[in-house]
Chain A
């Protein structure tokens, strides 16, 4: 594929608002997961909640979009000068030449969950205030983002469970390459809600502790929430050497089971191989893998088999979910940003909460942070329905030289 520049990016999750707090938390292994106290939820699990989401005020013109998911979206968009960067790009390219591609799994469903408690006792009707289209509907956060920037180009929500906001990079890549747009706002936003908390509980996949990816004693996920965004553009010939490029994308479907991964990690393996192929790289070129690493037994086992089949056992890897929790539809974008931070700051983030990497998984799982210059990193995102996506990022210095084709 033709490399794309992440000209700006930002992430907000339970480990911090924006890049500096996120980096500091990763550097210091700050524990942000906490026992679940969300809403009226009474479950013995841990969550990764973003503080202050409900204090966010949307502009009066955007009042119909008011729900937890869009409040977190706005909080995220306003970090790190990201909104200003999109405005500058809009002036440069035109508001109809910037696409919006947002990943989410549950969008504003919380709003409807709460509205169902307020049904009219006689007619069963929902309260008049709840506005389905701009809150609950899966497209809501993409629509919100498009309206926030007053963009008029193509827009879409990608909703393939926990691969959603990794796959947005692929949809955006195709549309830029097709020439329909010149830049894309990509990202993922998912927020805590009852459907996912009680849903993952029903599957027996919620950890009773702060989740421990790839640990022999892992017992499930900790659900988190996050908003992460990147502005994608074609790189110029003089792109700064420390800029981060998207170099490769691989996508596959397991065609195996709705809520369990292929036991040998076959779909995951296909996605990783395809990502390498599209980047024109070999497994040995990848310096670090940010694993999907949810901390469920079956995910980590299947992913480890897939990784070992492609990379062998030596490539350093870790999961960020011990820090952020599993932010579901936002995880791909959050972990893309963490990969970008790792590249630019030259460090491999060790996985939080994992005490001892499961010897049966046989990967070079990193428990501690390591300072090390990185040229290429891979990020894995997999989801329900057997959906898999692997992304490869690299520094422009290496990436453009390698591809030999700076794009104008």
Chain B
């Protein structure tokens, strides 16, 4: 029998090229508004203390922005939430700068650059900003990172019986690494998941592993975005929720191993 993991989505946050928040993105995903890819504008991280705010890189600010939108929509305090962070890479610019310095005659990288280089930098800043002392799971599965994060978050909800916030974010590398990993822009999705249908619940999702082909957008620009940025592999799920009807959507995960999501409204 296929194992299905069930959870309720209570809050959604999104930020990416041409996608500024969930209400406006919902209108784009239902086709009410047309999609125009504009460079992602990341807001300043007001929640961080001044010292951390100065040091925060794009992946930190991006992740804070999407998560705060999702948490506010769910009517929760982030401080209470266990978290799952899924990034297909860390902060691209910081990594580039470190590699450049290490290849130079002066290898003295700064302490801030070094601690920003850890894959869990955004998780560290996030916990400082929100005061969340619960567990955080910081993951990477290359192009499968959104699916890996969703599965991990679901197991927290299903097995441990509490809420969990999933944050999937990606940032670009500058050249020359861009040519090796051409992620075009910043993009992030955050989802607050709950084990029961509370008053804030937007949709129920039932997730299982499948070998079916992944969903592809008809709209070319959205399909380009979905394929270009690993975190955007979650967009078909958000479209299914936006369309407000019961449906099944298959999300990309690994080659031949994908995630089937049955979406029903609450």
A residues contacting B by CB (< 8 A) are 96, 105, 109, 112-113, 116-117, 119, 123-126, 130-133, 137-140, 142-143, 152-161, 167, 170-171, 174-175, 177-180, 194-195, 198-200, 202-203, 251-259, 266-267, 270, 383-387
Contacts and interface: CB of A to CB of B under 8 A. Distances in A.
Contact of B103 (A117, A133, A178, A179): A117
Contacts of B151: 154, 175, 180
Given A202-B110, A270-B133, A139 B115 contact: no
Contact of A258 (B103, B128, B160, B256): B128
A167 B100 CA distance: 31
B108 A198 contact: yes
Contacts of B117: 195, 199
B155 A178 contact: yes
Contacts of A140: 142
Given A154-B148, A177-B155, A180-B151, A132 B181 contact: yes
B52 A258 contact: yes
Interface in B96-140: 98-100, 102-103, 107-111, 113-121, 123-125, 127-128, 130-140
B124 A258 contact: yes
Interface string B131-171: 11111111111101100100110111011100000000000
Given A125-B179, A159-B140, A170-B137, A259 B111 contact: yes
Nearest to A200: B114
Contact of A105 (B52, B119, B175): B119
A267 B3 CA distance: 34
A255 B99 CA distance: 29
B30 interface: no
A257 B111 CA distance: 13
A154 B148 CA distance: 7
A158 B141 CA distance: 9
Given A157-B140, A174-B155, A384-B115, A258 B125 contact: yes
Nearest to A135: B180
B217 interface: no
Interface in B164-198: 175-177, 179-181
Interface residues of B, number: 67
B137 A158 contact: yes
A170 B184 CA distance: 33
A179 B3 contact: yes
A119 B176 contact: yes
B264 interface: no
B89 interface: yes
Given A138-B140, A153-B257, A386-B124, A178 B5 contact: yes
Nearest to B119: A159
Given A112-B99, A125-B176, A159-B120, A202 B109 contact: yes
A177 B154 CA distance: 12
Contacts of A153: 209, 257
A344 B179 CA distance: 50
Contacts of B108: 198, 202
Contacts of A270: 133
12 contacts: A133-B142, A154-B209, A156-B148, A161-B119, A161-B120, A171-B139, A174-B152, A179-B3, A254-B133, A259-B111, A385-B118, A386-B124
Most buried by A among B109, B121, B136: B136
B45 interface: no
A113 B96 CA distance: 9
B215 interface: no
